[in-house]
Amino acid sequence: MNRLLIGAMALALWVTPATAQSLDDLNIQIHGYATQGFVYSNQNNVFTTNSSNGSPAWTEAVMNVTALPTPKLRVGVQARYFLLGNFGNEIALDWADADYKVNDKFGVRFGKVKIPNNLFNETQDIDPSYMWALLPQSVYTLPDRNSMLSQYGGVVYGTVKIGENLGKVEYRGWGGNQIIAGSDGYWIALREAGMNLPNGLSGMDYGAALHWKTPLTGLMIGGSDIRRPAWSSPLTFEPAPGELLNGSMDVKAFNEWAVFGIYEKNKVMVAGEYNKLAPEILLSFPNLPIPFPVDKRQWYGMASYKVTGKLTAGIYDSQQINHALPLSTGPARSSKDWVASGRYDFSQFLYAKAEEHFIDGTDNYFDTGTNPNGIKPTTKLMVLKLGVSF
Amino acid sequence: MKKLLFVILLLAAASIFAVHARAQVIVIANPSVKANDISKSDLRDVFTGASTALPGGGNVVPILLKAGTVHEEFLQVFIGKNDSAYRAGWRSLVFSGQASMPKSLDGDAAVVEFVAHNAGAIGYIAKATPHEGVKVLTVK
């Protein structure tokens, strides 16, 4: 499937007029950005870093090349270096696609494409494009992020006017093969419990999103839904050194939906999102089925204000509750995060961010490996970030 | 009372100045662009990457100024963003594989030159800049 899509992209490049076009004719562009983060926390270590002592173990660098062989066809590829705490530290293919836009009403993109679900999924990794050092972690969990960004498949998209004085609707529909590698941050908790997915977890998914750009300038209201058919993959478990059990991880078909809205006008931005994530997951070993209860409600509300041309300040409240866990699990079944944030743009290319988090609950941010003495119920976290883009 | 009148006069003068300032930026297009006028909403869509065509006017390609007062005024008056917010929006599109960054040129003369010689090009310049070979679009 992946080879087929890459082959189709190569074909798209080949069939474009190849009559000695200059680089300028092809409108080849190269862009990139790099960020260096610093995290400092009390009580608990976050994101598998040693943040209690202050940690710079959060580095990202991205570079892309795009070309416009014809006005309607764009092809491009983007690679990413990612390091967070004790995982990552590798270069991966972010996306590589060919995009044919017939007109504003219809376009199609295929290859390894960004998945346009939720409000910010397509852009959650693009640090220069937003003011926050960390997006609301209830919905955009940083260690889980990379495998959620893109997949091998296609997206159709367009914008349709829905009548005089009713605004426009942007639609996106997509389908493809999503792969969550065994080494991904998504599986930190599993790995620390002695389990591994040697082949990762992968399967088909498809979904749709609608964004209504209302007649009120700057206000967009939308929703998205992803359908993931049943996924299954081999799973190993090492309960004690030298003792290896072979089993499987099975995820029943489920939907993940979200509703969201954003208002942006002049110096003000206000946004909010709510989504539900409730897959049925079963970890199976011989005579040892282990249910993995997940029934999460996740939401946030955020607001920011441009204080000056270079300085932006904002706050958000991000919360999640796992209803599948009993009340007796206390702080482990939820996470609430109040955040105050600021961004300063030194120039078009250089910026800095500073953020303070007040975290209550342990359903996010923390792992047992870097918190061997137990996870405490509240944490304060400071995040500093320096970014450059071109 | 005198103070109130003074403040009102000051505000009136400021608003006149603002109108005057707004009149200093004009939107120009290659003669191949069929439209003679453009709504503020359509102009915003074209320059934020949300649209690549004008109603009845065919495909258009936005051309930017790299910096300067004309650029700042255009963004403020017609797009409703400052430069950092505006470029952040384009970075979202460029780094998510949804668009290519518009061409940015050094000055008004370069914008006129490019727009005049490239079908579908649309840009903005100071009203006082000579602009032979291009058409001026009225922003409604």
ipTM comes to 0.88
Residue B9 confidence (pLDDT): 52
**Residue B96 contacts A where some CB pair is shorter than 8 Å:** yes
pLDDT band at B58 (very low <50, low <70, confident <90, very high): confident
Nearest CA to A353 out of A362, A345, A343 is that of: A343
Share of chain A above pLDDT 90, in %: 75
Residues β-bridged to residue A158 = A171
pLDDT of A1 over the 60 cut: no
For residue A354, give how far its alpha carbon lies from the nearest alpha carbon of chain B (Å): 17
Q: What is the per-residue pLDDT across A310-348, written as a single tens digit (0 to 9) for each?
A: 999 999 999 999 999 988 888 989 999 999 999 999 998
When divided into structural domains, chain A yields a total of 1
Asked if A272 and A263 count as a contact pair (C-beta separation under 8 A), the reply is no
Residue A341 confidence (pLDDT): 98
Residue B10 confidence (pLDDT): 52
Query: Cβ–Cβ of B59/A71 closer than 8 Å?
Result: yes
Most confidently modeled range among A50-54, A147-151, A327-331:
A50-54
Query: Which residue, among B95, B104, B117, B122, would best test binding to A if mutated, counting the most A CBs under 10 Å from its CB?
Result: B95
Share of chain A above pLDDT 70, in %: 93
Output b/e per residue, A186-199; b: 16+ Cβ within 10 A: bbbebbebebbbee
Range of the domain at A346: 2-389
Whole-angstrom Cα distance, residue A335 to residue A363?
A: 5
Task: Please give the structure tokens belonging to residue A294.
Answer: 């997940």
Higher pLDDT, A25 or B43: B43
Instruction: Report in angstroms the alpha-carbon separations of A190 from A175, A193, A378.
Output: 28, 5, 23
Q: What value does the mean pLDDT take over residues A224-231?
A: 95
Kindly list the structural domains of chain B, giving each domain's residue range(s) and its CATH number in brackets, ordered by start. 25-139 (3.40.190.10)
Residue A334 confidence (pLDDT): 93
Q: What is the per-residue pLDDT across A24-43, written as a single tens digit (0 to 9) for each?
A: 667 899 999 999 999 999 99
For residue A129, give how far its alpha carbon lies from the nearest alpha carbon of chain B (Å): 4
CATH of residue A17: 2.40.160.10
For residue A117, give how far its alpha carbon lies from the nearest alpha carbon of chain B (Å): 13
The chain A residue lying nearest B54, using CA atoms, is: A104
Q: What value does the mean pLDDT take over residues A123-137?
A: 96
- Tokens 């990202």 sit at which residue? A60
What is the torsional sign of CA B95, B97, B98, B104? positive
Q: What is the per-residue pLDDT across A265-305, written as a single tens digit (0 to 9) for each?
A: 889 999 999 999 999 999 998 888 888 888 999 999 999 99
DSSP state of A325: S
For residue B40, give how far its alpha carbon lies from the nearest alpha carbon of chain A (Å): 11
- Tokens 């967070």 sit at which residue? A84
pLDDT band at B84 (very low <50, low <70, confident <90, very high): confident
Q: Which positions in chain A touch B98 (Cβ < 8 Å)?
A: 99, 109, 114, 122
B82 closest CB neighbour out of A68, A123, A309: A309
Q: What is the per-residue pLDDT across B112-127, written as a single tens digit (0 to 9) for each?
A: 999 999 999 999 999 9
The chain A residue lying nearest B80, using CA atoms, is: A266
Q: What value does the mean pLDDT take over residues A347-367?
A: 94
Mean pLDDT (chain A) is: 91
**Residue B14 contacts A where some CB pair is shorter than 8 Å:** no
B53 closest CB neighbour out of A31, A103, A389: A103
pLDDT of B109 over the 90 cut: yes
Residue B6 confidence (pLDDT): 56
